[in-house]
Amino acid sequence: MKNLLLTCGVGVVCLCGCGDDTSRGVELYERFQAALVAEDAAEKERAAEYLQQAADAGHALAMCRMGQRLMGSDKPEDMSAGVEWLKRAAETGEGEGLYLLGLCYDQGRGTEKDANRAVECWQGAAAKGFAPALVTLGMAYANGYGGLEKSIEKAVENYEQAASLEDARGCYSMAVCYDQGKGVEKDAAKAVAYARRAAEQQHSDACLFMGKAHLMGYGGAEKSPAQAAPYLLKAADAGNAEAALQLGKLAFDGTGIKKDYGLAARCFQLAAQSGNSEAFCLLGACYDAGLGLKKDAAKAVECWKRAADGENARAAYFLGRCVEKGHGARKDAAVAARLYAMAARRGDVLGTLAYAECLLNGAGVEKNEAEAVQIYERLAKAGVPQAMLQLGNCLDEGRGVNKDADKARDWWRQAAAAGSEEAANKLKP
């Protein structure tokens, strides 16, 4: 229930009733709205004056705007004054005033924190049909907040009513409910339908939802990276880190959109700001190869360290390669082996192969050919061509296993069929 106070910005035209507003208040509020978008600088500067006059004249929405402006301050006296304006707006029965006042009680801004009074305000606003209050009240029911009995069914009732008013948050909340089967029977098609309605209103989470739906072909959405890209772009532009990551991968590979390493790198940078380990891993690859960014081995290593600390297996492998080769980092075979082992434990195939090679040759770790063979055999049976090749080599040379030329050639044949040129060359007379 946090950080919702400024969701209705100054200048937004709300199609709510105006209580007992005088005609003078209506006229002044209209002047305020016009002044906000006026080209004349002097008239634009009078916007605050018109707003104050409209609020003084009893215009409910003007009082809401005054409250919001003051609540945007960090000064306690301004916030307290803002609450008083919102109380005056709420006393007229204005739904938005009740809703915003509830947020003040919820967050303890300009007044003492009081969850029960917050819920009472939202209930009053919801009764007026104010859609944001319906969604917030639904969240309160979902969490059993402010003295309400926890009820996902009542939460869904409120979300659905807000969605019927074409409220973006209401539509997205319904999408989540149908996607997860919370309060309703799970239905992917309905989830996508609601998410699409929210995305049409630029709801960033809904845009991400639709982008992923098109990437996976979920809920009847056509599986199409090209259709996913515009949704991901909208969400990324709104600062959604996951959307930025997905869009970056499309731009990096040239899937669904034109290949653009510069866009990919910018997307990975945005996603990395949220601490996303995969974004750091991919950003490291951009720095390492100079794709979309100036080539910088040290920065690549820094990114891969951040990603590896976030348990990204592929980053641990890349970092191990840098340490093994002394590329952007101090050369250290033992550290490289530990990084490969870390990547292997997390299931990275390349890291596992690299660790097996360390065991086979005693590079940075105690030599153990038998353990290396066991790793190659496990990966080979899982269909990894490089493991098939290496297992064949071990069988051919008798390293960690009894020498067996026939079995060696059999694994080389399988590796060659899977695309290994090196294995194919070993099979030549």
Residue 292 and residue 280: Cα distance in Å, rounded? Answer: 15
Q: Which amino acid is at 326?
A: G
Burial (CB count <10 Å: 0-12, 13-18, 19+), residue 242: buried
DSSP 8-state class, residue 8: S
Residue 365 domain flag: no
At 53, give phi and psi (nearest 5°): -65, -40
* 57 found inside a domain: yes
The Cα 235–Cα 313 span in angstroms is 27
Residue 368 lies in a domain: no
Number of Cα atoms under 13 Å in the Cβ half of residue 355: 25
Identify whether 187 is part of a domain.
Answer: no
Residue 41 belongs to some domain of the structure? yes
* Counted domains in the chain: 2
- pTM value is 0.83
Is residue 340 in a domain? no
pLDDT, tens digit only, all 429 positions of the chain: 444 444 333 333 333 434 444 689 999 999 999 999 999 999 999 999 999 999 999 999 999 999 999 999 989 999 999 999 999 999 999 999 999 999 999 999 999 999 999 999 999 999 999 999 999 999 999 999 999 999 999 999 999 999 999 999 999 999 999 999 999 999 999 999 999 999 999 999 999 999 999 999 999 999 999 999 999 999 999 999 999 999 999 999 999 999 999 999 999 999 999 999 999 999 999 999 999 999 999 999 999 999 999 999 999 999 999 999 999 999 999 999 999 999 999 999 999 999 999 999 999 999 999 999 999 999 999 999 999 999 999 999 999 999 999 999 999 999 999 999 999 999 987
Which has the closest alpha carbon to 127: 86, 155, 104, 95? 95
Q: In this structure, which amino acid lies at residue 422? A: E
Boundaries of domain holding 41:
14-128
Collapsed DSSP state (helix, strand, coil) of residue 245 = helix
Is residue 153 assigned to a domain? Answer: no
- Picking from 61, 94, 128, the residue at the C-terminal end of a domain is 128
Q: Domain ends where: 128, 143, 172? A: 128
Q: Out of 99, 128, 157, pick the residue that ends a domain.
A: 128
- Is the distance from CB of 162 to CB of 169 less than 8 angstroms? yes
Cα–Cα distance measured from residue 136 to residue 133, given in angstroms and rounded to the nearest whole number: 5
Q: Under a CB-based contact definition with an 8 Å cutoff, are residues 114 and 37 in contact?
A: no
* Residue 331 in domain: no
Query: Residue 85 sits in a domain of what CATH number?
Result: 1.25.40.10
User: In 3D, which of 102, 156, 154 has the Cα closest to residue 128?
Assistant: 102
d(CA 203, CA 234): 9
**Contact status, residue 38 vs residue 71, Cβ threshold 8 Å:** no
CA gap 301, 255 in Å, rounded: 27
Q: Is 346 helix (H, G, I), strand (E, B) or coil?
A: coil
